[in-house]
Amino acid sequence: IAGITQAPTSQILAAGRRMTLRCTQDMRHNAMYWYRQDLGLGLRLIHYSNTAGTTGKGEVPDGYSVSRANTDDFPLTLASAVPSQTSVYFCASSQKQGASEAFFGQGTRLTVV
């Protein structure tokens, strides 16, 4: 089934630990995004990639890094997790950046304790 897949679906992580959230799409979309969703704040962009080999910072990039080695994969890494990074993380992809329907993964619920 074509789509976008995230792993893990949920995780409890000790503060200070390193964690990589995985995201894979099989729609051959050029653009990919990582958002976090928090109550009252909506979806906020962490990092994006317009095409394989390029990445950019979004609205809330601090404490996160990404890579885009190929079209399909866009992992998000928390180098040293802090409790304020407790959130639901959504990976998304679209054919091109901006005016193009975005498809979202099912989300990763991360709790940092």
Partner 1 sequence: GQNIDQPTEMTATEGAIVQINCTYQTSGFNGLFWYQQHAGEAPTFLSYNVLDGLEEKGRFSSFLSRSKGYSYLLLKELQMKDSASYLCAVDQTGANNLFFGTGTRLTVIP
Instruction: Count residues near partner 1 (CB under 8 A).
Output: 24
Q: Does 62 bind partner 1 (CB under 8 A)?
A: no
Least spacing, CB of residue 28 vs partner 1, in Å? 18
- Encoded tokens for 91: 């990976």
Q: Does 1 bind partner 1 (CB under 8 A)?
A: no
Listed ranges 17-25, 28-36, 65-73, 77-85: which one lies at the site for partner 1 (CB under 8 A):
28-36
Are 47 and 64 within 8 A, CB to CB?
A: yes
Residue whose entry in the numeric block shows the structure tokens 């799409």: 25
Beta strand pairing status for 108-112 and 10-13?
parallel
Q: Considering only residues 50, 51, 65, 86, which one is a binding residue for partner 1 as defined by CB under 8 A?
A: 50
Residue whose entry in the numeric block shows the structure tokens 């992580």: 13
